[in-house]
Amino acid sequence: MKIFLAQQNYHIGNFEQNVSIIIDAIQTAKQQGGDLIVFSELSICGYPPMDLLEFDSFINKCYTAIDTIKQYADSIGVLIGSPSKNDTNKGKKLFNTAFLLYEKEIKAAVHKTLLPTYDVFDEYRHFEPAYQWNVITFKGKKLAVTICEDIWNITDTPLYRLSPMDELIKQQPDLIINISASPFDYTHIEDRKAIIKANVLKYKLPLLYCNAVGCQTEIVFDGSSLVFDKNANLIKELPAFKESLEHIVINNDGTLQSSITTFANTIADKELIPTTFDENLNIKHIHDALIMGIKDYFSKMKFTKAIVGSSGGIDSAVVLALACEALGAENVHAVLMPSLYSTEHSVNDAVQLSKNLNNTYDIININNIYESFLQSLKPVFKDLPFSLAEENIQSRTRGNLLMAISNKLGYILLNTSNKSELAVGYGTLYGDMAGGLSILGDCYKLQVYALANYINKDKEIISTNILTKPPSAELRPNQKDSDSLPDYTILDKILYQYIEMNVAASEIKALGFDNDLVDKTLKLVNINEYKRHQFCPIIRISPKAFGVGRKMPIVAKYGLL
């Protein structure tokens, strides 16, 4: 049996486009003698559709799309994901379903059993879990079809429901097929291999895993679809962050007509959960995820040009470089907005960066605007000493200018804040926190430096000056981040324990961090939740991202000890 895996980039709710690329893949697979083609989870509508699932018209369009696609499923089977109606009048009104289309008909429907409701997932909000499990017999093979999370619960003490494979294995299937929309984070590509290996070792069957690729606002899907043989050897891995259509041939005896890519004994046996922060971990994948995130946000929203506030600092330099790579330098405009406290080298560094990248730029000095604010506020501020208020006026002036240019010229403002700053509130609402999309909001400061070094791997794009200067907001004389924050080599490690690892203060202190520093840092994280609730969408690259992946109450009082 010749089976194709279609790793495709869908656009949520864009049924015409989704159907078109699905049909193109079917036609290609038919021309190459395919028996079956497999698409990813909810491929008909795109994942995650969220509350669009509440619209009857949306569900009807899913069914119309299936009716169109099944006309091309004549000599080839098509396994495809879509919402389906629950006609039992029990529970939620929808299932998350894999349909088998063949001979221009719907031959079978398999519903998802394990509905994730954690981190970025909220499936139980809309879907009812499966209540019966049957293999699909197709062209002489028994297929155990599962959907994403269905293969992740294989322990002897299930977390919340039985594994559907424990039921399907009783029917003696020949292979497992899993259709997924499994998001990227910098640990997850290896996690999947460990989970799939565990399934294969438990059930003694080859497993074909088809994952979505592309970015849906914040959530990146890396693809990286997989084929394992019945001995848990990796046979095929589709490329990460790219659309791909590849096939595998399964012999009558269950063996695969392909050589081994990676032997089972070299594949991890458990999920990759780093207990300590490593800023260099999978930095290439982080880079590629951010590039895809920018590209897809702009293409799917039909935006074409970006604007970036360029300060000569590391964060804006990395955002500018990523934007130019993703969108083309001709579509990215930098704005330098020096103030009284901006150093000459910062302006020069920002200018040189734009020359290196070949993007256009403007320089707008904000001194006069800043002074006009101070004069207007003098009757209110009186003779009170210089404080954060004056610092933030500079930041908000810059935000105002950037948004004015954005409005006038139709550019989308890319935010340059990093995760370390967002965590502790080191940013100005309606100032440097302005933007339509956050590029680095899920990257700690040390990861930003690692990204800069990766960007420079072939030639110097981001200058040594930018890489080595002490980080500074330059909002007061001789200001440095270290005046207000711990060194990032310490801060990022504390934040990682609290945010990614969900570790309490007492446990973080036990790791050897200064007690007062831990208390201060965690307090800053908690009291600045209100700022993050007003922030723009953040491209997710970590196991626990602000916004889409970490949902905290603003007014909570929680003892951190």
Give the Cα separation of 155 and 163 in Å (integer). 9
Residue with tokens 């619209």: 55
Residues 216 and 293: beta-carbon distance below 8 Å: no
> How crowded is residue 353: how many other Cβ atoms within 10 Å of its Cβ?
25
The closest alpha carbon to 93, from 102, 85, 101, belongs to 85
Residues 6+ apart with CB under 8 A from 475: 339, 341, 391, 392, 394, 395
Tell how strand 207-211 and strand 175-180 pair up: parallel
Residue 136 main-chain phi, psi, to 5 deg: -110, 125
Two tokens, residue 238: 């589709």
Q: Find where tokens 């930098």 sit.
A: 334
Exactly one of 148, 215, 324, 443 is catalytic; which is it? 148
Contact in structure between 359 and 332 (CB atoms under 8 Å): yes
- What are 405's two structure tokens? 């240019």
Residue identified by tokens 């700690």 is: 444
Three-class secondary structure of residue 332 per DSSP: strand
61, 70, 112, 230: the catalytic one is 112
Q: List strands edge to edge, sheet with 77-85.
A: 105-111, 94-102, 77-85, 36-38, 2-7, 244-249
Q: What is the CA radius of gyration of the chain?
A: 26
- Cα of first residue to Cα of last residue in the chain, in angstroms, is 58
CA distance 404 to 400: 6
Two tokens, residue 34: 């395919």
The rounded distance, in Å, linking the Cα atoms of 86 and 71 is: 24
- Distance in angstroms (rounded) separating the CA atoms of residues 153 and 202: 12
442 closest CA partner among 554, 296, 547, 552: 547
Positive or negative, the CA dihedral 450, 451, 453, 454 is positive
Q: Is 112 a catalytic residue?
A: yes
Which residue of the set 41, 123, 149, 421 is catalytic?
Answer: 41
Burial of 16 (0-12, 13-18, 19+ CB in 10 A): exposed
Token digits for 389?
């208020």
Angle (CA) 237 239 245, round 5°: 85
Q: Are 490 and 349 in contact (CB under 8 A)?
A: no
Nearest CA-CA partner of 81 in 64, 96, 61: 96
State phi, psi for 372 to the nearest 5 degrees: -65, -35
Say how far apart CA 40 and CA 47 lie, in whole Å: 9
Query: H/E element holding 464?
Result: helix 464-468
User: Catalytic site residues?
Assistant: 41, 112, 148
